[in-house]
Amino acid sequence: MGETIGQMKIRQRNEMKALQAKCQQILKDKKRDKREAKRETASLKADLEAEHAKQLAYFEEQNSNDAPAEEAPAPEPSAPAEEVTPSNEEPVLTRAQKRQKKKLEQEHKREEQIRRDEEAFDNSAKETEQAELRKQLAGLGMAIVPMPSDGHCMFSSIAHGLNDGRNARDLRGVAVDYIIEHQEDFMPFMVDIRGNQMSDEAFTQYCDRMRSTAEWGGEQELAALASALGREIMVYSARAQPRVFGEGPEAPIRVSYHEHELTLGQHYNAIVSVGEGEENA
């Protein structure tokens, strides 16, 4: 007997969970380039989703081609069935059903253990990263000012450093306008989720998202803001020398980059001289 639609969906769900666990390991591998790892995991997920869609379409096609069953003759009238009293006893499982139940329980325990391990890893990595950044910045007489984790954190950090009345939304517009005006300079570094250079259409869509949604800002937007504002922007991280974008006559705008602050991805905070803001607890 072939796989039913219910069995297929359960299998596909388990395959996706297994892939998600694999992707977590790829993203946490510190020996790998972060952008390359993200591209690989995005490609793996896209391939599996496409395969699942193909399987589902094939199943529906096969079942739609089946000839409809002949209508069964109406049953002869029979005497009323005896009333059956509901029983509180659990149904007796076959040997195969017991094996399936045990397998599902083991799978659930495995997934729960993976989740606990990931949480422990994330918390440990976050605490280590915070301690290293605090130590580095304390030696420079600087401290971190936390920004909201709302997708606008990089732009909010720059706005905090500028302190000229413009907010994150305003700076999104500044960055996107500059990127569009200098498209030829930015296009070689603009790639889609599969690592291929963006088409003109994808570039336009990217700019629209960056301008009007909570799309995360990154290196392209930092470079654009530094040039458009005529300011030097310094990005501090726990395990690398500060990265410098642009230049200008005024004091640099300083922000911190956190790889493990959030489980969903990167995060930026503002940096100020000690006394101007409170350090992230």
Q: What is the pLDDT of residues 112-130, one digit of tens each?
A: 665 565 555 456 788 888 8
Query: Is 229 domain-assigned?
Result: yes
Query: Is 28 domain-assigned?
Result: no
- Close Cβ partners of 225 (under 8 Å, ≥ 6 residues apart): 158, 171, 174, 175, 178, 231, 233, 245, 246
The reported pLDDT for the residue numbered 122 is 55
Query: Is 145 domain-assigned?
Result: yes
CATH number, domain with residue 130: 3.90.70.80
The reported pLDDT for the residue numbered 71 is 46
Query: Is 281 domain-assigned?
Result: no
Neighbouring CB atoms inside 10 A of 125's CB total: 16
The reported pLDDT for the residue numbered 280 is 39
Query: Is 21 domain-assigned?
Result: no
> How far, rounded to the nearest angstrom, does the alpha carbon of residue 193 sit from its chain's CA centroid?
12
DSSP state of 195: S
Query: Is 143 domain-assigned?
Result: yes
Q: Which domain holds residue 159?
A: 124-273
Cα–Cα distance list, 238 to 36, 128, 137, 157, 210 (Å) = 20, 9, 10, 17, 27
**Number of domains into which the chain is organized:** 1
Query: Is 258 domain-assigned?
Result: yes
The reported pLDDT for the residue numbered 161 is 96
Q: What distance in Å separates the CA atoms of residue 195 and residue 178, rounded to the nearest whole number?
A: 23
Query: Is 196 domain-assigned?
Result: yes
- Parts of the chain with a pLDDT under 50: 67-73, 79, 81-82, 84-85, 121, 277-281
